[in-house]
Amino acid sequence: MALSGMRGLSVFISDIRNCHNKEQERLRVDKELGNIRTRFKNEKGLSPYEKKKYVWKMLYIYMLGYDVDFGHMETVSLISAPKYPEKQVGYIVTSCLLNENNDFLRMVINTVRNDIIGRNETYQCLALTMVGNIGGKEFSESLAPDVQKLLISSSCRPVVRKKAALCLLRLYRKNPDVVNIDGWSDRMAQLLDERDLGVLTSVMSLFVSLVSNNAEAYWNCLPKCVRILERMARNQDIPQEYTYYGIPSPWLQVKTMRALQYFPTIEDPGARRALFEVLQRILMGTDVVKNVNKNNASHAVLFEALALVMHLDAEKEMMSQCVALLGKFIAVREPNIRYLGLENMSRMLLVTDVQDIIKRHQAQIITSLKDPDISIRRRALDLLYGMCDVTNAKEIVEELLQYLNTAEFAMREELSLKAAILAEKFAPDLSWYVDVILQLIDKAGDFVSDDIWYRVVQFVTNNEDLQPYAAAKAREYLDKPALHETMVKVSAYLLGEYGHLLARRPGCSPKELFAIINDKLPTVSTSTVAILLSTYAKILMHTQPPDVGLQQQILTIFKKYESYIDVEIQQRAVEYFELSRKGAALADVLAEMPKFPERESALLKKAEDAEVDTAEQSAIKLRSQQQTSSAIVVADQPPVNGSVPASNHLTLVKMPSQNITEESNVTYEEPPVEIPKENGAPVEVESKVENIPETNIESKVEPPAAHPASQADLLADLLGPLAIEGPPAAVEQNPVQGLETNQSPVGDLALATLEDQSNSVQPIVNVEEKFHILCSKDSGVLYEDPHIQIGLKAEWRAHHGRLVLFLGNKNTAPLLSVQALILPPSHLKTELSSVPDTVPPRAQVQIPLEVVNLRASRDVAVLDFSYTFGTSLVNVKLRLPVVLNKFLQPITLSPEEFFPQWKALNVQNLKVQEVVKGVKPLPLPEIASLFMSLHLAVAPGLDNNLNNLVACTTFFSETTRAMLCLVRIETDPQDRTQLRLTVASGDQYLTFELKEYIKEHLIDIPRVQAASPPVPVQPQLPPAAVPATYNDPGAMLAGLL
């Protein structure tokens, strides 16, 4: 690009470079664009020099990232200029500014064609370069025959023929019909005899594209490819300019070997022998040297040769040589070479009779699991998974379990799944399998799907000899202070069924088993509570002779849950309570589970599906996969049963409590409203509310509608199978009658409703319940309807959070027009990766989301998600569980550390105290468990009063960094419905937000059972009155504050 003499262009570039900020640059660009637009309006007064100068300026502005939506006609007209400088500018700028669908290109097709068929080689090169860059159907239909003539012409110079080959390649990719296969096989064979390596390299690129679509038509070209490789291997007739660090044209060698991989096999014995000699020479002559550039070139040739060896299914001796070479590569220090060695060794596992040879390098592969580079660790994991069999399964699985302790969040899901598959597939005995799965659940419970522990239960049920051992192992794990909920599920089930087999062992009496299981009850979700109730019934049935005290304890729990809001739990509690009073009949009804029928494992089925692939298919797929988004598409999943449709929910963005309750049809608002208790007696809810700026609030309460119960969600595992089913039964609708509220600082983010959308598709899960669960857990299902399941996994480090949204298409048709937008509150900084426009059938897409916490707040971000399925447009707004406790880290302080901090924070606004009424009447241990779920570490012994609790935590944000927070709860043994809450920290805003956040989890709002008569508008709210139309204390406080 010769810019000499263009003073105006030079001055403009200088002005842009001297701009101090983006705003100055934008103003200067706008001024220049206005000047160019004015001059183009008077085109007749423009000289060719001025037009060329202004077009160069347009290109420079476009390269800076600004839109240039005018001047295209002037740019295109320069292509028709008779002189080279103007024509060059026209071709270059047209290639950059215009795409294949631009209408202006039709105006220059004839001009471009005249330049291609003309005798001026410079013009031919300009035209071919532009056509190759733009492509397009119209160019391919109009110009492809002329480009082909240039390619096969013997009178054209090599520089023109090189460009013609690459131009034809681009046109062929856009429109394969431009190349007539019948006539081109002979022409391609002639072109492969070309002596000029530049033309030959370009022709080989075209040949690779042709054979990838139809290799059968080009069998006559196969010997030519072998001869090219022989020429390269012997370094015959190779010009110096095509020798790269002593390697003859490595690009041509790689392309030639890649083209050979598209042919099924080589039947000609002479060609096959010659090819293996070349490959042997490449394998023997490649080594690791200090020069990085030479390493890159030689290893590119080597690894393509390895792929060709695998494709041709060479003799075992050559395969052994390949594995030995790769074994040497995975031990070098250079990470790129280690990565390539591991990847190619994984691909060699697809070749028969090679696995035993690869096992010799097992120790070095296991060492790669500890590599600092995560990509190398992933390849090592894939290789260990592929090379595992009965002989080495125990060693490999133990290494994977050990590595699970230190593996990062991004790898644990894949690691857990592969360890479970290997343990089941190659278990030497079932007791070892039970040990492995229980260790897996203990170390990575968030990443273990329900399918895994279901399989353990099936094995234990079907093998009587295994039952005492499995029950004893489950009892051992329950002694651990911190236990994942999945471990609670499997342990409770096993001890309920087979705990009686351990009755004579110390610590395993029915009363002791009940006590240790019951300790977990306050901390588990509703799906686990259902399992625990069944376990209690089994323990009661197996207790012989009956223990009156134990029976009374269990019956008390059944009675407590008879009025629970979840219908599944309520039904179990009622039925077990009635059955337990029938005496001997209980043993008949709750008899031991029968043996399961033999069935294929879902995990093994998944593993077998992943292995149905050939070496050549893998090679083709690896080269052809091109992602248009940074999201990750996960492979096809088998179907399972979905969950029962649940009711719709009005979702509030203000941080809710952890209560899992059903909502009533509500149009907001109202001071004191009488709410029936469970026994029908009215009670008035009280709470201390301060600083209410708006008092013009009205209320209207509708009778609650009946909703079907939401069963335990079997799809919570994000790597587990998706529910591939047709639409379920009609979901019961519960439309919101209206919503009126005062304006709050949160603005439009304060409400995220599902019902305000005119969606024909409704969720089949309780969205409110799923949100509550994710507020205390880091993985699970966020939303699900008949077409899609949205799962979430999260990892939190200080004030940073990394979330991954899993979009799972449950249908056999794609989901189109997929869009996701994060509406963050002011205290969060979010960055969502690009979202693919389409989710393929029966596939998952992963979308990473980065979150940074700027300061303390209870406001919650909203996911605005939409997609199209068939003629249905679905749009939902979902709260994301990025809540205050996610940025808390429990910390334990000694008395010597605690009391100086407590006294130092005895400053107004840094220490806040409030008497909270209407508290859930929880015993002190349950309050302590609640605090632990909120990431508040309870410090025993700091308060001499046994009715008080003291807790410590550290809050992380970008502004405060790590800030110590201290909390004290003073309870009244005579009245558990009120307490005094004191919160202290170094930031007054943090103190207030944390106090309100804890209060929301402590306060108890009874359910609304019936409509109350409307109450006239009060001129001012009484300070002790709280609108009780919401069943969620967080929702109520959000509306008031």
Sheet holding 872-879, edge to edge: 816-823, 862-869, 872-879
Q: Among 97-111, 510-524, 746-760, 849-863, which stretch is predicted with the lowest mean pLDDT?
A: 746-760
* pLDDT over threshold 70, residue 433: yes
Q: What pLDDT band is residue 250 in, cutting at 50, 70 and 90?
A: very high
pLDDT at 27: 93
- Higher model confidence: residue 132 or residue 615? 132
The superfamily (CATH) of domain 689-882 is: Gamma-adaptin ear (GAE) domain (2.60.40.1230)
Look up the pTM and report it: 0.54
CA distance 141 to 145: 8
CA distance 705 to 550: 38
Lowest mean pLDDT among 170-184, 546-560, 693-707, 898-912: 693-707
Local confidence band at 39 (pLDDT 50, 70, 90 cut-offs): confident
Structure tokens at 713: 């969600």
One DSSP character per residue, 631-653 reads SEEEPP------PPP------BS
Q: Give the pLDDT band (50/70/90) at residue 807.
A: very high
Query: For residue 545, is the peptide bond before it cis, meaning its omega torsion is within 30 degrees of 0?
Result: yes
pLDDT surpassing 80 at residue 678: no
Whether the per-residue pLDDT at 679 is higher than 70: the answer is: no
**297's tokens:** 């070139």
Hey, what are 998's tokens? 């804890």
| Residue 390 Cα distances to 382, 424, 428, 600, 610, angstroms | 17, 11, 7, 19, 19
pLDDT at 543 over 60: yes
pLDDT at 750: 34
Confidence of residue 548 (pLDDT cuts 50, 70, 90): confident
Q: How far is CA 3 from CA 11, 75, 79, in A?
A: 12, 17, 18
Report d(CA 340, CA 356) in Å as an integer: 20
CB 807 within 8 A of CB 719: no
Return the structure tokens found at 542: 């197996």
Instruction: State the average pLDDT for the chain.
Output: 78
List the chain domain ranges: 389-447, 449-602, 689-882, 886-1004
Number of helices (H), then strands (E), belonging to the chain: the values are: 38, 21
DSSP secondary structure string for all residues of 177-207: GGS-HHHHHHHHHHHTT---HHHHHHHHHHH
**pLDDT class for 608, splitting at 50, 70, 90?**
low
pLDDT tens-digit map of 456-502: 888 898 888 898 999 999 999 888 877 888 999 999 999 998 888 88
Structure confidence at residue 417 (pLDDT): 86
**What integer pLDDT is reported at residue 349 of this predicted model?**
85
Is the pLDDT at 984 greater than 90? The verdict is yes
Q: Does residue 9 contact residue 53 with C-beta atoms inside 8 Å?
A: yes
How confident is the model over 73-99, as a mean pLDDT?
89
Task: Look at residue 135 in the predicted model and tell me its pLDDT.
Answer: 83
* Arithmetic mean of pLDDT, 220-224: 89
pLDDT category at 585 given cuts 50, 70, 90 is low
Q: Supply the pLDDT for residue 607.
A: 58
Q: Among 439-443, 640-644, 790-794, whose mean pLDDT is lowest?
A: 640-644
Give which of 813, 648, 851, 621 is closest to 737, Cα–Cα.
648
pLDDT at 267 over 90: no
> Which residues, 6 or more positions from 777, have their beta carbon under 8 angstroms from its beta carbon?
446, 485, 525
Residue 181 — very low, low, confident or very high, per pLDDT cuts 50/70/90? low
Contact 205, 165 (CB under 8 A): yes
Mean pLDDT of 998-1015: 55
Q: Using pLDDT thresholds of 50, 70 and 90, give the confidence band for residue 909.
A: confident
Amino acid identity at 794: A
Stretch 932-942: mean pLDDT, rounded? 88
Give the DSSP letter string of 999-1024. HHHHB--PPP-SPPPP-PPPSS--TT
Tell how strand 844-853 and strand 700-701 pair up: unpaired
Do the two domains 689-882 and 886-1004 of this chain adopt the same fold? no
- Comparing 74-83, 123-132, 641-650, 918-927, which segment has the lowest mean pLDDT? 641-650
Euclidean distance between CA atoms 992 and 753, whole angstroms? 27
User: For the ranges 615-624, 717-726, 784-793, 921-930, which has the lowest average pLDDT?
Assistant: 717-726
- Across the strands, what pairs with 961? 957
Please enumerate, by residue number, every residue annotated as part of a binding site: 7-8, 49, 53-57
* b/e sequence 79-111, b meaning 16+ C-beta within 10 Å: bbbeeeebbbbbbbbbbbbbeeeeeebeebeeb
How far is C-alpha 792 from the geometric centre of its chain's CA atoms? 7
3-state SS, one letter per residue, for 500-553: HHHCCCCCCCHHHHHHHHHCCHHHCCHHHHHHHHHHHHHHHHHCCCCCHHHHHH
Report DSSP state, residue 208: H
The correct CATH number of 886-1004 out of 3.90.45.10, 2.60.290.11, 3.30.1600.10, 3.30.310.10 is 3.30.310.10
